[in-house]
Structure 1
Amino acid sequence: MSEKKKQPIVSSSHLVSEKSIELSELEYGLIIANNAFNRWIERCMTSSGMPDLNPTDILILHNVNHRARAKKVADICFNLNIEDTHTATYSLRKLAKLGLVQTEKQGKENFFSTSERGKALCLRYREIREDCLVDALGVLGTGNQEIGELAKLLRSLSGLYDQAARAAASL
């Protein structure tokens, strides 16, 4: 009995490399995981009481709230791997207009921190995240250690993709 060869699950068959079919499978996984993650954070934020934020706004709000330290735009962009500072600046203005972040000038630099309203929103988001997502992790049968290892791998892969982007830009 001949065994049927398993077809890779990819988004773009024309990109499949004989050297690494698995990379194409990973990229498809990243695409659908990214879209699911973006949909999740938007819906979680809507349930938290703030329906008008896009994924970038949400990630920036959480980053500004991180460790309760004021941050410069450059630091936020570095932490979130955002290349275009204008994107971050636009989100920060939007968040400030909604009363979620505040700006403090220190010398020539603007520093951003969460307002009391922004902190409360982040805490509400955390509660919903715990109820809807963290508690559901057990269903996967995946342990926290495995998730931590996957996180390390994804951070390493982001460095490879950044390096490849620089190489492609120089062609």
Structure 2
Amino acid sequence: MAEGPEHEEPLDRRWHLARTPHEVNVTELEFAVMRVGEAFARWQSECFAASSGFTATGSENALLHVVRLHERAKPLKELARLTNRDDIPNLQYALRKLVKLGLVKQTGGRSNAVYTVTDKGREVTDRYAALRAQLLVEVTQVVNGIDDRLLQATQTLNILSGIYEQGARVVSTHQRGG
């Protein structure tokens, strides 16, 4: 193998997190997921603002859509499970914000509260869906083989979600005292 800069790889794919090619691939996937997550949150926030005239985070927007899912009331515990979140105080804050905006209605007391989308929330989520269809769905449909690729990506991300959850449980269970 020839020595010298003209024969080196054009990109330095080394990471302090990775020692092997597999570890490099895992690390690069993690950073891609992070960038996609940030871009997705920005998209959700901007599309929500355009659809509603309100300011909300991407996770608040996602929560609104999950509340509307299947057009039935959901308790906080179910909303947390459906969004894979355990930060209950932040979920409660987001729900209070959505209630204050008139997009979600809370029924029941503190211990048995359930949440439903209001007519105003339904209008906003319908406008969001229309804008999403126009700006995202129409564009993605022209990508050759996109449906198979989306299905495979969804399955892979679901598998990785389980792996990361298991890793978090192990770390949480076996942390050494400080």
TM-score (norm: length of structure 2): 0.87
Cα deviation for residue 46 of structure 1 reads 1.0
Q: Is contact 2:13–2:24 with CA below 8 Å preserved after alignment? A: no
Cα deviation for residue 28 of structure 1 reads 1.1
Q: 1:5 aligns with which of 3, 9, 16?
A: 9
Q: Does 1:53 align with 2:56?
A: yes
Q: Name the CA distance, whole Å, in 1 between partners of 2:76 and 2:151.
A: 28
SS in structure 2 of the partner of residue 56 of structure 1: helix
Q: Is contact 2:43–2:58 with CA below 8 Å preserved after alignment? A: no
Q: C-alpha deviations, 1:96-135, integer Å up to 9, x for none? A: 0110000111794111000000011000000000000111
Q: Are residues 8 and 23 of structure 1, via their aligned partners in 2, closer, same or farther at CA, if it must alter by over 3 Å?
A: farther
Q: Does 1:149 align with 2:152?
A: yes
RMSD: 2.1
Cα deviation for residue 138 of structure 1 reads 3.4
Structure number with larger C-alpha Rg = 2
Q: 2:28 aligns with which of 25, 30, 38?
A: 25
SS in structure 1 of the partner of residue 115 of structure 2: strand
Name 2:102's counterpart in structure 1.
99
Q: Which runs of 5+ in 1 are unaligned?
A: none
Name 1:162's counterpart in structure 2.
165
Q: 2:40 aligns with which of 34, 37, 40?
A: 37
TM-score (norm: length of structure 1): 0.90
Q: Name the CA distance, whole Å, in 2 between partners of 1:5 and 1:37.
A: 32
Pairs aligned (count): 169
SS in structure 2 of the partner of residue 135 of structure 1: helix
Question: Which shows bigger deviation, 1-10 or 87-96?
Answer: 1-10
